[in-house]
Structure 1
Amino acid sequence: MTVPAPRARRRTSTLGRMLPLLLIAALLAPVGLLLTQSWQHTGENRDQASRARLGVEYLRALAPITEALVEAQSAAVSGRPVPGEPLTRAVEQAATLDARIGVELRSQERWAGLRAKLEALRDRRPADPESAYTAYGEVTDLLLDLHDKVRESSGLVRDPGADSYFLQDSVGQELPEAMVGAGRLADLGTLVSRRPAAERTRGLIELTSVRVSALAPANGVVDNLRSAVDSSESTDLGANVLTPLDAYQRSVEALAAYSTPAAGTGAVDPGQLAAAALNSRNAARQLQPVVLAELDALLVERLDGLDRDRWITVGAAAVAVLLLGWLATLLIAAARRAHRRAATPTTDVDSSGDLATGDPWQPPGGTGRPADQRTLQPVGATQHTEIAQWGPFDASR
Structure 2
Amino acid sequence: MTVPAPRARRRPTRLGRLLPLLLIGALLAPVGLLVAANWRQATDDRDLAARERLGVQYLGALAAVTDALVAAQSAAINGRPVPREALDRAVEGAAAVDARIGGELLSQERWAGVRAKLEALRGRGNADPESAYTAYGEVSDLLLALHRKVRESSGLVRDPEADSFFLQDSAGQELPEAVIAAGRLADLGTLVARRPAAEQPRGLMELTGLRVAALAPAADLVDNLRSAVDGSESTDLGANVLTPLDTYQRSVEALAAYSVPAKNTGAVDPGQLSAAGLNAHRAARQLQPVILAELDALLVERVDALDRDRWLTAGTAALAALLLGWLAALLVAAGRRARRRAALAATHAEAADTPPHRDPWQPPAAEARALQPAGAAPDQEAARWGAFDAAR
Contact 2:77 2:126 in 1 (8 A): no
What residue number does 1:260 align with? 260
What residue number does 1:180 align with? 180
Q: Tell me the distance in 2 between the aligned counterparts of 1:165 and 1:5.
A: 83
- Normalised to the residue count of structure 2, the TM-score between the two structures is 0.88
What residue number does 1:37 align with? 37
Q: Tell me the distance in 2 between the aligned counterparts of 1:364 and 1:162.
A: 105
What residue number does 2:27 align with? 27
What residue number does 1:101 align with? 101
Q: Tell me the distance in 2 between the aligned counterparts of 1:238 and 1:293.
A: 13
The alpha carbon displacement at 1:357 in A equals 4.1
Deviations 1:243-274 (A, max 9, x none): 11110111011011111111222211000000
The alpha carbon displacement at 1:292 in A equals 0.5
The alpha carbon displacement at 1:192 in A equals 0.3
Q: Tell me the distance in 2 between the aligned counterparts of 1:186 and 1:360.
A: 124
- Normalised to the residue count of structure 1, the TM-score between the two structures is 0.87
What residue number does 1:222 align with? 222
Q: Tell me the distance in 1 between the aligned counterparts of 2:358 and 2:220.
A: 109
Q: Tell me the distance in 1 between the aligned counterparts of 2:156 and 2:189.
A: 35
Q: Tell me the distance in 2 between the aligned counterparts of 1:99 and 1:222.
A: 33
Contact 2:229 2:238 in 1 (8 A): yes
Deviations 1:310-357 (A, max 9, x none): 1110110111011101100111011112222333316669xxxxx554
Stretch moving more, 6-15 or 164-173: 6-15
* % identical equivalent positions: 73
Stretch moving more, 336-345 or 113-122: 336-345
Q: Tell me the distance in 2 between the aligned counterparts of 1:271 and 1:140.
A: 23
With over 3 angstroms needed to count, the CA separation of the structure-2 counterparts of 1:289 and 1:368, relative to structure 1, is farther
* Pairing 1:224-239 to 2, within 5 Å after superposition: 224-239=224-239
Q: Tell me the distance in 1 between the aligned counterparts of 2:73 and 2:125.
A: 11
Q: Tell me the distance in 2 between the aligned counterparts of 1:308 and 1:50.
A: 15
Deviations 1:161-210 (A, max 9, x none): 10000000011100001110110000000000000000000000011000
What residue number does 2:315 align with? 315
What residue number does 1:383 align with? none
Q: Secondary structure at the match of 1:268?
A: coil
Contact 2:174 2:220 in 1 (8 A): yes
Q: Which runs of 5+ in 1 are unaligned?
A: 350-354, 372-397
Contact 2:79 2:126 in 1 (8 A): no
Deviations 1:64-118 (A, max 9, x none): 1001100110111111111100001110111111011001100001100000100
What residue number does 2:325 align with? 325
Q: Tell me the distance in 2 between the aligned counterparts of 1:131 and 1:348.
A: 112
The alpha carbon displacement at 1:52 in A equals 0.2
What residue number does 2:366 align with? 367
Q: Which runs of 5+ in 2 are unaligned?
A: 370-392
2:195 matched to 1:212? no
Q: Tell me the distance in 2 between the aligned counterparts of 1:20 and 1:249.
A: 71
Paired AA for residue 337 in structure 2: R
What residue number does 1:71 align with? 71
Q: Tell me the distance in 2 between the aligned counterparts of 1:333 and 1:147.
A: 65
Q: Tell me the distance in 1 between the aligned counterparts of 2:363 and 2:124.
A: 130
What residue number does 1:293 align with? 293
